[in-house]
Amino acid sequence: MNLHRQPIPVEEAVQRVMKHRPSQKLEEVRLEDSYGRMLAEDIKATHPVPPFSKSPYDGFALSAADTAQASKESPARFVVTETVAAGHRASRPLESGEAVRIMTGAEIPKGATAVAMFEICQTDEQANTTYMTIKRSLEDGQNIIGQGTETEEGEVLVHKGETINPGIQAVLATFGYANVRVYQRPRVGVFATGTELLDINQPLEPGKIRNSNAYMILAQIERSGAEPIYLGKLADDFDTCFEAVQQALSKVDCLITTGGVSVGDYDLMPDIYEKLGADVLFNKIAMRPGSVTTVAALGGQLLFGLSGNPSACYVGYELYTHPFIQGYLGNQRVYHNVIDAQLGADFSKPNPFTRFVRGFVRYEQGKVCVYPAGIDKSAVVTSLAHSNVLIVLRGGTRGYQRGDVVRAILLEDREGTETFQLYSS
Ligand SMILES: Nc1nc2c(c(=O)[nH]1)N[C@H]1C(S)=C(S)[C@@H](COP(=O)(O)OP(=O)(O)OC[C@H]3O[C@@H](n4cnc5c(N)ncnc54)[C@H](O)[C@@H]3O)O[C@H]1N2
Ligand code: MOO
Ligand SMILES: [Mg+2]
C-alpha cells in the first residue's frame, strides 16, 4: 500500500478523465419515450406550419372587399352558405356576398380573405336562409393564420445535441416523428463496497449502517441522463470484489464503485485495479471532500472509484463522472453550469485545498445567494438532502464571510457548459 499519494489539482483530474471521452451510439426511441433524451438528428419542418390557412377565431369567413363600405348606418349583409367545423372543409369556393360560419382551426374556404369574430356580427333568418350583417370593414388577411406563417417547409427547428423537452416533443409530434433518433444512454454500473453495509430493508445492527451511497449514486446517474444499473453491495473480501468487478465490466459501459479507495487495510480497490491491469489516472486530488476519488481506465472503459464517505462520494461523482457521462450522451456542454453568487452565511473554516461545499440557491431581493446545506464533513449524509449546488471555495484561503462572491456549480441545471471553469478569474 502506497501511503504517499501525490495530489493533483481538480482541473488536471477532470482533464485526465475527459481525455477518455467516449464515442456515441445512436438508437431510435418512440416519441413518447423520448423526453429528456439527447437528439442525434436535426429536426426539419417536413411541411409548412400551419399546413393550410386557418381561422384563429369562431366567426364568419368572408371576402374583406365585401365589407369595404360597411358602417353602422349601412351594414354589409351576407348569405351564410354553410358551417365549417375544425377538421372539415367548405364544400365550394365562396362567392361575393356570401359568408361561411367557421370555427377556430378550420381551413379558410377559397374566396374568403378575412374572418369576422362572432362578437361583431349579427345573424337573422329569413325564408330558411341565414343572413349575417356586419357594421365595420375588415382588411384582407385579417384574422387569418396564413399557411406557413409560423414555419416554412425545410426550416431546421431543433438541432442535434439538444435535450428533448416538452416543447421539442410537441415539435416532433407536429411533423409526425413517431420515432426519433437519440444518443444511447450509457449503462452505468454501481457497486457499493463495505462489510459494514446493510440493505435498506434490514434493521440496524451494532457496527453496521445502511447502504445509502448506492441509492444516491443511482439517482445521480439518472439526473445525468444515463441508465443506472445497480449491481449490489460487496463485502470487503478481495476475491469476491475482484470477480464481481471483472464480471461487471462486460455488462456495463462504465463502472462506479463506492468505498475502499483510501489506505485502510480493507480498502481493496487499489489492488483490484492493479490485478485488472487498469491504468490509474489519479488516486489523490487536492480537494475536499473526495480527495481519495480514484479513476482507472481499462480497455476504453472507465472505473470510477468514488469514496465511501457519502459527501465525498457525491462530490466525486458530480465533478468527474457527470461530465464523462455527458460525452456518451452527445452533449457538447458536458460540464455543470457555474454561477457567481453571494455567500449567504459565513464559512469560517480555512480551506487548505479547494473545497466543494454542498449547498442550495436562494433568490433574495434580486440577488442570487448560496447557502451551505448543513454540516460540512465528508462523512455526512444528511446535508445532501438539501443540496443543489457545490459552493467552490478556493484552496489556500482562510475562510469566507457572508456576502463574499463565490462560484457555485449548479447540479440541477440542464443547460451545462463547454468549459470547466472553477473560478471567475
Ligand atoms: N490514514 C488515512 N485514513 C483516511 C484517509 C487518509 O488519507 N489517510 N482519507 C480519509 C478520507 S479523506 C476519506 S474520504 C475516507 C475514504 O475512505 P474510502 O473511500 O476508502 O471508503 P471506506 O473506507 O470504504 O468508507 C468510508 C466511510 O464511508 C462509509 N460508507 C462506505 N460505503 C458506504 C455506503 N455505501 N453508504 C453509506 N456509507 C458508506 C463507511 O462506513 C465509512 O464510514 O478515508 C479517510 N481515511
Ligand atoms: O476524500 Mo475525503 O472526503 O477528502 O474527506
Ligand atoms: Mg477506507
pLDDT in tens, 313-356: 999 999 999 999 999 999 989 999 999 999 999 999 999 999 99
Per the structure block, which three cell numbers stand in for 76? Answer: 354589409
> Mean pLDDT over all residues of the chain?
96
* Backbone angle region of 45, left / alpha / beta, with phi > 0 → left and psi within -120 to 50 → alpha: beta
What is the pLDDT averaged over residues 185-214? 98
Q: Which residues line ligand 1 (CB under 6 A)?
A: 192, 194, 196-197, 209, 211-214, 258-264, 267, 289, 291-292, 307-310, 312, 378-379
Together in a domain, 107 and 175: no
Together in a domain, 308 and 192: yes
193 Cα nearest atom in ligand 1: 32
Q: How far is the CA of 350 from the centre of ligand 3 (A)?
A: 24
Q: How far is the CA of 58 from the centre of ligand 3 (A)?
A: 71
Tell which one of 8, 311, 378, 384 to mutate to probe ligand 2, the residue whose CB is within 8 A of the most ligand atoms. Answer: 378
Q: How far is the CA of 288 from the centre of ligand 2 (A)?
A: 5
Q: Which ligand is nearest to the CA of 5?
A: 1
* Sheet arrangement for strand 76-84: 114-117, 59-62, 98-102, 76-84, 129-134, 121-126
Check residue 151 and give its pLDDT.
Answer: 98
Q: What is the pLDDT of residues 217-240, one digit of tens each?
A: 999 999 999 999 999 999 999 999
Using the predicted structure, report yes or no on whether residue 2 has a pLDDT greater than 90. no
Using the predicted structure, report yes or no on whether residue 123 has a pLDDT greater than 70. yes
Together in a domain, 311 and 277: yes
Proportion of the chain above pLDDT 90, given as a percent: 96
312 Cα nearest atom in ligand 2: 3
Q: Is 300 exposed, middle or buried (0-12, 13-18, 19+ CB in 10 A)?
A: exposed
Q: What is the pLDDT of residues 166-184, one digit of tens each?
A: 999 999 999 999 999 999 9
Neighbours of 41 (CB within 10 A): 15
Distance CA 417, CA 414 (A): 10
262 Cα nearest atom in ligand 1: 20
233 Cα nearest atom in ligand 1: 35
Of 231, 222, 193, nearest to 322 (Cα)?
222
146 in a structural domain: no
What's the half-sphere exposure (Cβ side, CA atoms, 13 Å) at 147? 10
143 in a structural domain: no
Together in a domain, 45 and 173: yes
Per the DSSP assignment, residues forming a β-bridge with 193 are: 234
Check residue 425 and give its pLDDT.
Answer: 62
Using the predicted structure, report yes or no on whether residue 267 has a pLDDT greater than 80. yes
Together in a domain, 307 and 323: yes
Neighbours of 19 (CB within 10 A): 9
258 in a structural domain: yes
Check residue 384 and give its pLDDT.
Answer: 98
Together in a domain, 130 and 162: no
Check residue 1 and give its pLDDT.
Answer: 58
Together in a domain, 319 and 401: no
Check residue 21 and give its pLDDT.
Answer: 87
Per-residue confidence band for 4, with pLDDT thresholds at 50, 70 and 90: confident
CATH number of the domain to which 312 belongs: 3.40.980.10
Of 401, 394, 412, nearest to 318 (Cα)?
412
Q: How far is the CA of 185 from the centre of ligand 2 (A)?
A: 30
Sign of the torsion angle spanned by Cα atoms 375, 377, 382, 386? positive
Q: How far is the CA of 307 from the centre of ligand 1 (A)?
A: 6
Neighbours of 5 (CB within 10 A): 16
Together in a domain, 251 and 123: no
Together in a domain, 356 and 292: no
Please name the amino acid found at residue 74: S
- Is the CB of 43 inside a 6 Å radius of any atom of ligand 2? no
Check residue 335 and give its pLDDT.
Answer: 97
Specify whether the CB–CB gap between 282 and 13 falls below 8 A: yes
Distance CA 373, CA 389 (A): 9
What is the pLDDT averaged over residues 367-373? 97
Of 188, 216, 214, nearest to 199 (Cα)?
214
Together in a domain, 33 and 91: no
Per the structure block, which three cell numbers stand in for 87? Answer: 377538421
313: helix, strand or coil: helix
Using the predicted structure, report yes or no on whether residue 3 has a pLDDT greater than 90. no
How many domains, in total, are found in the chain?
A: 4
Q: Tell me what ipTM this predicted complex has.
A: 0.98
Q: Which ligand is nearest to the CA of 259?
A: 1
State the DSSP H helix or E strand holding residue 168, giving kind and residue range, or none if neither. helix 166-174
Q: How far is the CA of 313 from the centre of ligand 2 (A)?
A: 9
- Is the CB of 287 inside a 6 Å radius of any atom of ligand 2? no
415 in a structural domain: no
397 in a structural domain: yes
Of 337, 340, 321, 341, nearest to 420 (Cα)?
337
206 in a structural domain: yes
Q: How far is the CA of 214 from the centre of ligand 3 (A)?
A: 16
Q: How far is the CA of 421 from the centre of ligand 3 (A)?
A: 30
- Is the CB of 378 inside a 6 Å radius of any atom of ligand 2? yes
- Residue partners of 108: CB distance under 8 A and separation at least 6: 52, 53, 54, 55, 61, 102, 115, 144
Q: How far is the CA of 404 from the centre of ligand 1 (A)?
A: 32
Length of the chain: 425
Proportion of the chain above pLDDT 70, given as a percent: 99
Nearest residue (CA) to ligand 2, atom 3: 289
Distance CA 243, CA 266 (A): 16
119: helix, strand or coil: helix
Tell which one of 283, 285, 292 to mutate to probe ligand 2, the residue whose CB is within 8 A of the most ligand atoms. Answer: 292
232 in a structural domain: yes
- Is the CB of 354 inside a 6 Å radius of any atom of ligand 2? no
Q: What is the model's pTM?
A: 0.91
* Residues spanned by the domain of 204: 10-25+185-328
Per-residue confidence band for 280, with pLDDT thresholds at 50, 70 and 90: very high
Together in a domain, 43 and 87: no
Q: Where are the alpha helices (DSSP H) in 175-268?
A: 213-224, 238-248
State the DSSP H helix or E strand holding residue 362, giving kind and residue range, or none if neither. strand 354-364
- Is the CB of 288 inside a 6 Å radius of any atom of ligand 2? yes
35: helix, strand or coil: coil
260 Cα nearest atom in ligand 1: 20
What is the pLDDT averaged over residues 77-87? 98
54 in a structural domain: no
Together in a domain, 33 and 178: yes
Of 196, 278, 281, nearest to 235 (Cα)?
196
Distance CA 29, CA 274 (A): 39
Tell which one of 193, 262, 354, 355 to mutate to probe ligand 1, the residue whose CB is within 8 A of the most ligand atoms. Answer: 262
Q: Is 57 exposed, middle or buried (0-12, 13-18, 19+ CB in 10 A)?
A: middle
293 Cα nearest atom in ligand 2: 1
Distance CA 329, CA 325 (A): 7
